[in-house]
Amino acid sequence: MASRKRNLQEDNGGQEGALSASKHSRSGKKRHIAALILARGGSKGIPLKNIKMLAGVPLIGWVLRAAVDSELFDSVWVSTDHEEIEKVAKAWGAKVHRRSPQVSRDSSSSLETIQEFSRLYPEVDVICHIQATSPCLHPFHLKGALDLITEQGYDSVFAVVRRHQFRWKEVKRGSDDFTHPFNLDPLNRPRRQDWDGELCENGSFYFATKELLNDAKSMQGGKISYFEMMPEYSVDIDVDIDWPVAEQRVLRYGYFGRNIPEMVSLMFCNVSGCLTEGRIFLSMSGEEMVSINTRDTMGIRMLQKEDVEVVLLTSSLDPVAKSLAESLTKRTGCKVIEVGSEPLDSLKLVVGQKKVDWKDVAYMGNDTQDVSCLNLAGLSAVPKAAPTLAINAAKYTCRSGGGKGAVREFAEHILLQKKKAQSQMEQDRIDRKNF
């Protein structure tokens, strides 16, 4: 998780003697620090992009999770003009500012929207504008950047990434001009290791004091600093228009929360709605039947191969699912537990008997009765089209529906997180040894 910080002080258009930032104002009063995410509903490229699912989480959910978990902010806000975005924002722990029509137009700038927020909430002293399109943001990025304001007295901070790219002037068609280099001497091209590269804004965040916002025409002014993020975390959905590619980056480098397990050893999976699609087939003789997907049974075997015990959950109210679970036991060796209307009541005892922590448990449910377990488990998921309450409680929402590969998808997600945890543990071991 290495990140590098560089500082840059500018006069920036004659703004001399800019107000110094610190934890407290000049009066000694503790300053209110707010995170603000702008999420307009009128995205032209990808409709409602800000709440479109990316790797099982609404796009805006990635930065909200990082902001809330960082515990750096006195308040976390989403500024929006759309009802559905408002619902998602509140579900992920944010307050909502319904922006005015004047700053909701296609031509409205981010600065205008932020300044409107600043006028309406004068108690906020430092505004940390976090871009919703930066899903690989982590709490440690926010802390490192905010420290530059609260600890080192800067007025504005923005995120950058280091690029090693040679740039040339573009020649317009029909022009008699010729191209020439911007940042290199073609006769003395430096090797990458001999060149520091250039710092480029990556759009992840822009922090500024209220005093700067009230007096300036930019969030970059006064005494300026930048926070350098590593390239692997610098994902901008405005640029990475290939959603599947962005998903792979996020699955590897995104922030999945404070309680991500180091080693999942136990998974609970509802049979009805997760391994089945919720439909019951009736034969001519009146016999009830359900179908399962071979991808899902393969997903269970993948987990078992990596020493993850899979326990299937059924209900006395669903005898068909119970019969299916018994059949799956013969195929996969999974244990079956019958749970009541509140599965947590039954599973607390099981988790205790197995002497594991809930943070090392994965849970897959599909309805409102699963909310408690979805919240408690270190990793949790629901199939596509689950009820809103269950989706909001889950840490991962599958692209696939129940009975259509959702269990396999979640199994792959569990194994990916397990691999990440093992890699981090190995890196920590190496770091301690070198230290």
The pLDDT value recorded for residue 41 is 84
348 and 215 within one domain: no
Residue 258 belongs to some domain of the structure: no
Rounded Cα–Cα distance for residues 70 and 235 (Å): 19
Domain residues for the domain of 291 are 266-423
Q: Look up tokens 């696939």; give the residue.
A: 400
314 and 178 within one domain: no
Rounded Cα–Cα distance for residues 345 and 266 (Å): 17
Residue 65 belongs to some domain of the structure: yes
157 and 26 within one domain: yes
296 and 169 within one domain: no
CATH number of domain containing 343:
3.40.50.1000
Give the residue from 384, 234, 192, 64 showing the smallest Cα distance to 396: 384
291 and 243 within one domain: no
The pLDDT value recorded for residue 27 is 52
Number of domains in the chain: 2
211 and 162 within one domain: yes
Among 191, 220, 253, the domain-final residue is 253
Full pLDDT tens readout for the chain, 435 residues: 334 444 443 333 333 333 334 455 545 578 999 999 999 887 666 778 899 988 888 999 999 999 999 999 999 999 999 999 999 999 899 999 999 988 888 778 889 999 999 999 999 999 999 999 999 999 999 999 999 999 999 999 999 999 999 988 888 877 677 888 888 888 888 888 888 889 999 999 999 999 998 877 788 999 999 999 999 999 888 765 578 888 888 888 888 887 666 678 999 999 888 988 877 666 566 666 677 788 999 999 999 999 999 999 988 767 666 677 777 777 788 888 888 889 999 999 999 999 998 989 999 999 999 999 999 998 999 999 899 889 988 989 998 999 999 999 999 999 988 777 666 555 555 544 554
286 and 228 within one domain: no
- Which residues does 289 contact at the CB level (< 8 Å), separation at least 6? 280, 281, 282, 283, 320
Among 253, 283, 313, the domain-final residue is 253
Residue 74 belongs to some domain of the structure: yes
Residue 302 belongs to some domain of the structure: yes
Give φ, ψ of 3 to 5 degrees: -135, 150
Contact 229, 161 (CB under 8 A): yes
Contact 229, 202 (CB under 8 A): yes
The pLDDT value recorded for residue 21 is 41
413 and 285 within one domain: yes
246 and 270 within one domain: no
Residue 224 belongs to some domain of the structure: yes
166 and 314 within one domain: no
411 and 300 within one domain: yes
Residue 430 belongs to some domain of the structure: no
Which structure tokens are listed for 16?
């001399």
Rounded Cα–Cα distance for residues 42 and 127 (Å): 24
The pLDDT value recorded for residue 130 is 97
Positions annotated as catalytic residues are 189
302 and 211 within one domain: no
CATH number of domain containing 35:
3.90.550.10
Residue 431 belongs to some domain of the structure: no
